[in-house]
Structure 1
Amino acid sequence: MAGRRLSREKRRLQLLDTAMAIVRAEGADGLTLARVAEEAGVTKPVAYEHFETRTGLLTALYRRVDDQQIEAANTALRARVGSLEEAVQILAEAYIDCVLHVGKEFGVVTAALSSIAGTEELLREGRERYAGLYLRAVERFVSLPESEGMTLMLGVVGAAEALAREVTSGRLSRADAVRAADRIMLGAVNAARQAAAEAGATSR
Structure 2
Amino acid sequence: MSTARTVVVIQGHPDPDGRHFCHALADAYAQGAEAAGHSVRRIDIGRLDFPLLRNREEWTDGTPPEAIRQCQEAIGAADHLVIVYPLWLGTLPALLKGFLEQVLRPGFAIEGPSPRGLWRRLLKGKSARIVVTMGMPALVYRLWYRAHSLKNLERNILKFCGIGPISESLVGTVEGRAAAREKWLARMRTYGRDAR
Is the shorter-chain TM-score for this pair beyond 0.5, marking a shared fold?
no
Higher helix share: 1
TM-score, length of structure 1 as denominator length: 0.28
TM-score, length of structure 2 as denominator length: 0.29
Higher strand share: 2
